[in-house]
Amino acid sequence: KNQVEQSPQSLIILEGKNCTLQCNYTVSPFSNLRWYKQDTGRGPVSLTIMTFSENTKSNGRYTATLDADTKQSSLHITASQLSDSASYICVVIGGTASKLTFGTGTRLQVTL
């Protein structure tokens, strides 16, 4: 069964600090992996998209890594801001490209 698991479930950090979110998946065959940011009550917004051959991709203060051998990905947030408070969802596409397997999400809260 295709699954995407994320850790931690929730995280509280101080503004300005860095953090790393983890994603493990069993989706096969693998096509690509995305990280989405979802503010409360809003739709998800794509942060990064990574294919099999990509190890690292950055989008501003967000850096995603992918290890396709171990089927793991991480999202590193640098110099966190209050506006980073949101749920971060790892999404893996495999098999039929129009269907996504969503992770359980990590709820990040950035405080003063």
User: Which residues make up the interface to other proteins (CB under 8 A)?
Assistant: 31-32, 34, 41-46, 49, 51, 89, 93, 97-100, 102-105, 107
Of 74 and 104, CB closest to other proteins: 104
Say how far apart CA 6 and CA 32 lie, in whole Å. 16
Of 18 and 28, CB closest to other proteins: 28
Nearest approach, Cβ of residue 16 and other proteins (Å): 27
Of 2 and 78, CB closest to other proteins: 2
C-alpha distances out from residue 11 to 21, 65, 85, Å: 9, 19, 10
Of 80 and 103, CB closest to other proteins: 103
Nearest approach, Cβ of residue 94 and other proteins (Å): 11
Residue that is written with structure tokens 């990280």 in the block:
35
Please state the φ and ψ torsions of residue 65, each to the nearest 5 degrees. Answer: -125, 155
Pairing of strands 10-14, 106-111: parallel
Pairing of strands 30-38, 45-51: antiparallel
Nearest approach, Cβ of residue 110 and other proteins (Å): 18
